[in-house]
Structure 1
């Protein structure tokens, strides 16, 4: 996510210890270099625009000189430039066609501005606020993620000189600091930090499969673990393009497990200036890394990932959230935290080591409370999509406060197989929306839930059937609406309390291709 574009222009949105397959960098020289000495500003400037991590940006640290020809046997070949508005990326391949990426340590968000604003006061302020990012924060993540059971990349700090081997990319990438890390994509069977998956896919590919077929699913508890880890790090920029997905074959199809990437906004420090604090009240997703995670800020901290969270965590219970949080709290021990900080260069540790040790331990103790608040937010309004294959949705009131939802795969000539189920409680949930998407779906009401729940059934594409069973004696104090697009559905409209309303489906409600719009992937 681009840090400043939403705020100002209204658009969009020492080397680390080796814990994976990243090869050792060859015996080139080292240099002492500061990541961003230009971010040291006057006391008055810092009063209004924040101290942030300016001292870390200004301190010289050792970095390995990166020679593309000698860094690994056979060398690296640069193949493609990429990156976001802030970060410059250069994709590399080794002689075995394994992919890596150089990611710029320094950032420049001014490219997100209209051309006429890319120079001048606004651009200078945007560039200055790069100092909210800890330039060495990504280095301590691998040992912490490994302890927490979360997949991770292995960034290393390197200095890229004016190397002729850069070829056409030489003018843009020479003479700068970068993070070198493996690229989570394709065959990763030699990578334990990616689960040794034989096929790692992009979010676009994974979510397309999830929306088109119920033969694909996400390991929801593993994704929840990764999301709680994000919150512990204060990493609020977790939209769909910040993830890759390790796939694993199962008896029923394929399961995906989440690979977080791009930790630029972990340990974000923003609200320590007069003006930046005011901005943080407006832009509540700009959460700073303090020793205490304020529960009232959990919603803002997770706003970027909300579409993913609502889709992927919909069937987990409060107990699931509590169990995952409790296990992480145990795994992220004081010893693990202390050891993770030792990967920092001594110059960085001297400035930030004690602060991070204290804050990480304090935030760890809050994980159960944060998980409970996270569950509460997601349980309030629930959306349960099908796929473009045929499914059967079964709603069954258990009492006046609870309703159970089960989703089955419809299989011709075979017994329907249960895909998901969850019991919802009106003390926590006020609305449930079912989206059939494509396929000829069936919606069954085994009794009519009380009006405490607002239930919406959205037919989407296909010729669907909506029917109510054992509901004729209900008094009609219900709040159920069937949204009928008029494309040949069969609806039992004679049941008292069941409302049918004609509607024109929005693209995001119609089918799998439309549903991808919710995830900004189509």
Structure 2
């Protein structure tokens, strides 16, 4: 599921549930007990990802069948052997502090690092303390069965074909007597896990992500660089391609923490960041197949729990968790780019590619889910352009246009009743140096209701012009330094369409008879959340 469980969903569960939490919810060992173990070699084991998700008819009718048969289906997986899993072996590193997943870092002999994570989750900490010892905890834990435990292993060939950077996880079983993982050994014993390489050296980055890759950063660090200096830019086209792949896969949990960013060196000291989606835990999510789970997934409860079907459910639900990063990484692209990208993905994600990817499921799981998965992917591929247009309309409704901590000039040109153009220029202190165009995009009031401009640091200038009858609302947020605002625009009607937010002092406003000035004493008037922390 996710680390954030909504209050309305918990209230619904509380009303529908009673009793205490089960003391022993999870299977003690993934290895199939007392089974005639059929293995390809002595280094493999017959295991189940989660026998504890097997439920009776009444429970399945109320809470959903989900992927329960996949969780308790015995499969053959290799046994994790740190001495042989990669050339030179691995040694235990830092233990992770995952909110729901048991995780740690393993170190290789050449400086390469690997992430080891359990397939199953325990959302104990996601539940409010007052409910952690009630039946609600059982219900929330049981909802993990809505995810396909082997879904992440299907993604790499699809991402490769789509031109999206990706990791390549592998499944393993950790022996019940494992002791090579150091202090973390007890936490992992008897579990099914995935192992994937982490990219912590420049040699690894170049080998995996191509020439010019110099660094790998998390979203908050990447955004800090982008907002500090205009020489650091997001590859928005690459991000759009990745986000449309997310929609196609039904991966609704794509918040800013689910991305890494590869930094590529460019001429003249510039850097461009390209996205790497990580943690594909929620691809092919199947949730709304029970009475209570259907109610929980309604718009008034947890609308982001979208079920993977041949047809797309509401695009807004799929995109809800990614609103923060989408607003910052998709603010440049026009409608035509969404459609062109969707059509390119349709061609790249062929029947052969889909079949090859689905075959990465364990053979026993493929027999259960393979045909259904392939048919759904093909059907969703056919309607991907329409999904892309719906996604565009969602992103175009309100557009965020931040500057940087350097000097910029923002120009809002209300050219006609059907077109408003926003341009952002870098301003140099050197008088003989011309301005550099950083951003330009046209907006139609039928699609865009609000434009939000943030000057951030240094002294910025804002110019608004044009006389029209229709236009998006323009909200201008200054910054900690002295900013200038010049509003010569006119929009018909009684409601003022341009608003300016800043502190009461150190600002210069001119020619603004229709400007709605909303200054305050505190710096909160122009606050901008750079990294998702809410600050």
Deviations 1:185-212 (A, max 9, x none): 4423344357772211111210111222
1:479 aligned to which of 487, 490, 497: 497
User: What residue in structure 2 maps to residue 247 of structure 1?
Assistant: 263
1:107, distance to aligned residue in structure 2 (A): 1.0
1:474 and 1:47, CA in 2 relative to 1: closer, same or farther beyond 3 A?
closer
**Equivalence map 1:68-87=2 (5 Å):** 68-87=82-101
Work out the number of aligned pairs and report it: 498
1:358 and 1:505, CA in 2 relative to 1: closer, same or farther beyond 3 A?
farther
Contact 1:448 1:478 in 2 (8 A): no
2:285 aligned to which of 263, 268, 273: 268
2:388 aligned to which of 354, 367, 371: 371
1:114, distance to aligned residue in structure 2 (A): 3.8
1:444, distance to aligned residue in structure 2 (A): 1.7
**Equivalence map 1:48-127=2 (5 Å):** 48-127=62-141
Tell me if 1:278 matches 2:291. Answer: no
SS at match of 1:164: coil
Gaps of 5+ in 1: 11-26
Tell me if 1:342 matches 2:359. Answer: yes
Contact 2:112 2:200 in 1 (8 A): no
User: What residue in structure 2 maps to residue 228 of structure 1?
Assistant: 244
SS at match of 1:303: helix
SS at match of 1:396: strand
1:449, distance to aligned residue in structure 2 (A): 5.1
**Equivalence map 1:420-431=2 (5 Å):** 420-431=439-450
1:495, distance to aligned residue in structure 2 (A): 4.0
1:177 aligned to which of 185, 188, 192: 192
1:432, distance to aligned residue in structure 2 (A): 1.1
Contact 2:3 2:99 in 1 (8 A): no
1:475, distance to aligned residue in structure 2 (A): 10
Deviations 1:159-209 (A, max 9, x none): 112222211111111221100111244423344357772211111210111
1:51 and 1:489, CA in 2 relative to 1: closer, same or farther beyond 3 A?
same
**Equivalence map 1:316-327=2 (5 Å):** 316-327=333-344
1:35 and 1:473, CA in 2 relative to 1: closer, same or farther beyond 3 A?
closer
Matches of 1:77 and 1:508 in 2, distance apart? 50
1:472 and 1:157, CA in 2 relative to 1: closer, same or farther beyond 3 A?
closer
Matches of 2:495 and 2:358 in 1, distance apart? 59
1:466 and 1:30, CA in 2 relative to 1: closer, same or farther beyond 3 A?
same
SS at match of 2:224: helix
Tell me if 1:197 matches 2:213. Answer: yes
TM-score, with normalisation over the residues of structure 2?
Answer: 0.88
User: What residue in structure 1 maps to residue 412 of structure 2?
Assistant: 395
1:358, distance to aligned residue in structure 2 (A): 0.4
Deviations 1:278-305 (A, max 9, x none): 11112110000111003xx111110110
User: What residue in structure 2 maps to residue 17 of structure 1?
Assistant: none
SS at match of 2:69: helix
Matches of 1:46 and 1:194 in 2, distance apart? 47
SS at match of 2:287: coil
1:452, distance to aligned residue in structure 2 (A): 3.0
1:336, distance to aligned residue in structure 2 (A): 0.8
1:415 aligned to which of 407, 428, 434: 434
**Equivalence map 1:25-64=2 (5 Å):** 29-64=43-78
Matches of 2:282 and 2:97 in 1, distance apart? 15
User: What residue in structure 1 maps to residue 16 of structure 2?
Assistant: none
168-177 vs 257-266, greater mean Cα deviation: 168-177
Tell me if 1:312 matches 2:325. Answer: no
1:448, distance to aligned residue in structure 2 (A): 4.7
SS at match of 2:529: helix
Tell me if 1:458 matches 2:477. Answer: yes
TM-score, with normalisation over the residues of structure 1?
Answer: 0.90
1:111 and 1:433, CA in 2 relative to 1: closer, same or farther beyond 3 A?
closer
SS at match of 2:167: coil
Matches of 2:189 and 2:525 in 1, distance apart? 44
1:484, distance to aligned residue in structure 2 (A): 3.6
1:377 and 1:74, CA in 2 relative to 1: closer, same or farther beyond 3 A?
same
SS at match of 1:189: helix
